[in-house]
Amino acid sequence: MPQINPNGLLAGRTALVTGASRGIGEAIAMRLAMEGAKVVITARTAEAGDSKLPGSLHETVDRIRGAGGEAAFFRADLAEAGDRERLVKDAVAAYGPIDILVNNAALNIVMRVADYTDKRYRLMMGVGVDAPFHLSQLVLPAMRAKKQGWIINISSGATRHPKPTYKPSAGNTVYGMVKAALERFTTGLACEVYDDGIAVNVISPGLVETPGVSANGFLSEAARARLQPITWIAESVLKLSCCDYREMSGRIDKAADFIAEFGLTPAELI
């Protein structure tokens, strides 16, 4: 039976996980908590009913605390710089300096480039690029002071260059470019902070059945044959949250390949 190990791999460390009201972020938060991390989570959906999708920050925290773990949540709109600054300030006040930052929050407005409004484009960039960039800036001073830290950015297979197509379902161009920017940011930052003892990596999930994926209509019968367990991404993030920066930084990996390379056995979640 899955449980919290207060003396686990992440005992004494504080993790901040964005987009953790449901889906992949929720799974990551639970897995880090299972290894003893004090977990701070954030999203826009604080309470059940705040969104049309199931899941909330309150429910995620209750699940972790109910299993004996330490967790707190702070609602934030990550597209807003002020919210990002307030989030890190509140997280540090709750549990101390951030040791692990997981930039998981994402937004996917599926729409062709010709139809994209400036407001929607700015929102996509704000959540997917500006937020990871700014949050990293905010946590880096404390990580540098400790000479250790772990930043994990969650990307997507949407970064792959598609073949020219005129299919009506096309509309992931902006999402793909956001995730491509996130990957380039990761490798560049990894170089900049290597001498500070900080690891910066990317992990990409395969197709995972989450409320958001279902709501966007991505689960056709053919797609269901490619579904991967959500525990694969959670286990991969755990590995990257306690790795040696000298051996593992600046990597961009798919969760399935990462699991296979290191022979990881994904744990059942609390």
Residue 175 falls in the annotated catalytic set: yes
Q: Which residues pair with 17 in a beta bridge?
A: 41, 102
Whether residue 15 contacts residue 37, with contact meaning beta carbons closer than 8 Å, is answered with yes
Q: What does the angle CA 104 – CA 65 – CA 57 come to, to the nearest 5 degrees? A: 40
What values do phi and psi take at 107, rounded to 5? -140, 135
Which long-range contacts link 59-63 to residues 24+ away (Cβ below 8 Å)?
59/21, 60/20, 60/21, 60/22, 60/26, 60/29, 60/30, 63/30, 63/270
- Of 166, 175, 194, 245, the active-site residue reads 175
Residue whose token pair is 């990597």: 251
The Cβ of residue 268 has, within 10 Å, a number of other Cβ atoms equal to 11
The Cβ of residue 209 has, within 10 Å, a number of other Cβ atoms equal to 15
Give catalytic residues, as residue numbers. Answer: 175
